Amino acid sequence: MPELPEVETVRRGLAPVFEGGRFSRVEVRRPDLRVPFPPGFARRLKGRSVTKLARRAKYLVATLDDGASLLIHLGMSGSLRIGRGIEEERPGTFHHPRSKDSAHDHVVFHMEGGTRVTFNDPRRFGLMDLVRGDPEASPHLAGLGAEPLGETFDAALLARLFAGRASPLKAALLDQRLIAGLGNIYVAEALWRARLAPARAAGTLATATGRPAAAAGRLVTAIRGVLEDAIAAGGSSLRDHVQADGSLGDFQHAFAVYDREGAPCPRPGCRGTILRTVTSGRSTFACSACQR
């Protein structure tokens, strides 16, 4: 759920608070999320300042002034709230509308100056870790594939990654070891934009010599485009979010196929209908007419 665009939206909302800020105290209200907090988590954060808040795939990476890094993954239902005093607002997250329940406020970062950042995660699929040295070398990030918004992500790279793979495009795109940051929603949207069927073999995007097929270029453009559009929409939802009912962000209204089973395909001239199929127990949405 929080996929790359949602995490980037959260990063942008949180950066003004974290960057240059210092943790006066960190409250950890349970021993674990999806995995245990590392030993001494709260103690090691206390007194540290954040020099930079970055994003890698779906991870937030806060660089600390002692050289360590705080990693935060939102899982499926994680959100971060910024507040001081009684009032709090969310910097823009993908969370459940009524999950404001403080019973799920698992971590509270108290910043010097009085601002609070509260991590809420009803389903506890999120995780936090504290790693020393280069965070890219940490177990969480080391195995991640290409950053889809990075400069090196192009048709040639995609063709190399997918060459020889018999697995469906959908599975290949969801594999974080190949391309990192896409989830079920944006994979569906990107494949629709590229007019590619989810079940098509990933290897068909490369020629026999390993060069990119035309479809590889379309897919790269589609991935970048859908992520950029979603980030732009998430950003715009930030303002609304303050008075918010907890909606996803504007981009949900722009879905072409995701969660639109039975709807007419929105592609001009296409008379197809959006179909929902289930693969590995997961919903897949696509137009059977224009996606090949």
Which of 63, 77 has the CB closer to DNA? 77
Euclidean distance between CA atoms 180 and 197, whole angstroms: 20
Q: Exposed, middle or buried by CB within 10 Å (0-12, 13-18, 19+), for 34?
A: middle
Say whether 34 is catalytic.
no
- Active-site annotation holds for 100: no
Closest CB 77 distance from DNA, rounded Å: 7
Residue 189: CB minimum distance to DNA, A: 12
21/75 with CB nearer DNA: 75
Known catalytic residue at 46: no
Q: How far is the CB of 86 from DNA (least distance, A)?
A: 22
Q: Which residues pair with 232 in a beta bridge?
A: none
CA 127, 247, 169, 213 dihedral sign is negative
Q: Is beta strand 116-120 parallel, antiparallel or unpaired with respect to 59-64?
A: unpaired
Q: Which residues bind DNA (CB under 7 A)?
A: 1-3, 34, 57-58, 73, 75-77, 96-99, 101, 103-104, 122-125, 140, 165-168, 171-172, 174, 176, 183-185, 278-283
CB of 63 to DNA, least distance (A): 20
Q: Which is nearer to DNA, 194 or 257 (CB)?
A: 257
C-alpha to C-alpha distance for 268 and 290, rounded to whole angstroms: 11
Asked if 28 contacts 107 with a C-beta cutoff of 8 angstroms, the reply is: yes
The one catalytic residue among 11, 44, 56, 58: 58
Annotated catalytic, 282? yes
- Angle among Cα 6, 289, 261 to the nearest 5 degrees reads 50
Nearest to DNA of 14, 111 (CB atom)? 14
Q: Which residues are catalytic?
A: 2-3, 58, 282
